């Protein structure tokens, strides 16, 4: 944003406002990461892809959005400031129609799914143990 010769932010604020990120969108956020390698400081770009579960403070200067992704079976959430210079690009991959402004129920939904899977594996292990014990009785 520029006012005459003065530049307030290194980020193109109009472009970020036009994105109109909403909860339920699947986004790819390219984040600049600084790495210190001996004497040099290198920057690289890492993509963070996930579901937007919350959007706070609208399009104002302090606006943020929360992205949730699942990596190696573990749910991870990260809060990004909308106008942060650390964010290189924001790409909307998919838009979904949702009925809530905040999708925090995704936490409990994932927990219930995991507990269901755990119950199934425990029952399967018990069934295998019983089958093995019956096989041993038949061989004796």
User: Count of alpha carbons within 13 Å of 49, Cβ hemisphere only?
Assistant: 7
Query: Does this model's pTM top 0.85?
Result: no
Q: Which residues does residue 93 pair with via DSSP β-bridges, in sequence order?
A: none
Whether residues 15 and 37 share a domain: the answer is: yes
The answer as to whether 17 is a domain residue is yes
The answer as to whether 23 is a domain residue is yes
The answer as to whether 1 is a domain residue is no
Residue 13 has phi, psi (to 5 degrees) of -65, -35
User: For the chain, how many structural domains are there in total?
Assistant: 2
The answer as to whether 2 is a domain residue is no
Distance CA 33, CA 55 (A): 23
Domain hosting residue 121, numbered range: 104-140
For 99-123, write each residue's pLDDT tens digit: 888 888 888 887 787 788 888 777 7
Whether residues 75 and 50 share a domain: the answer is: yes
The answer as to whether 129 is a domain residue is yes
């Amino acid at each position: 944003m520029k006012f005459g010769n003065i530049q307030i932010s290194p980020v193109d604020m109009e472009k970020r406002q036009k994105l109109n990120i909403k909860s339920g969108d699947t986004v790819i956020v390219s984040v600049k990461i600084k790495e210190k390698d001996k004497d040099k400081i290198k920057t690289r770009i890492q993509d963070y892809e996930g579901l937007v579960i919350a959007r706070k403070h609208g399009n104002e200067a302090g606006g943020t959005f929360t992205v949730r992704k699942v990596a190696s079976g573990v749910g991870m959430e990260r809060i990004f400031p909308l106008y942060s210079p650390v964010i290189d690009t924001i790409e909307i991959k998919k838009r979904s129609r949702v009925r809530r402004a905040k999708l925090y129920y995704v936490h409990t939904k994932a927990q219930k799914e995991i507990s269901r899977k755990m119950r199934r594996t425990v029952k399967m292990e018990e069934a295998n143990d019983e089958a093995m014990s019956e096989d041993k009785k038949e061989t004796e």
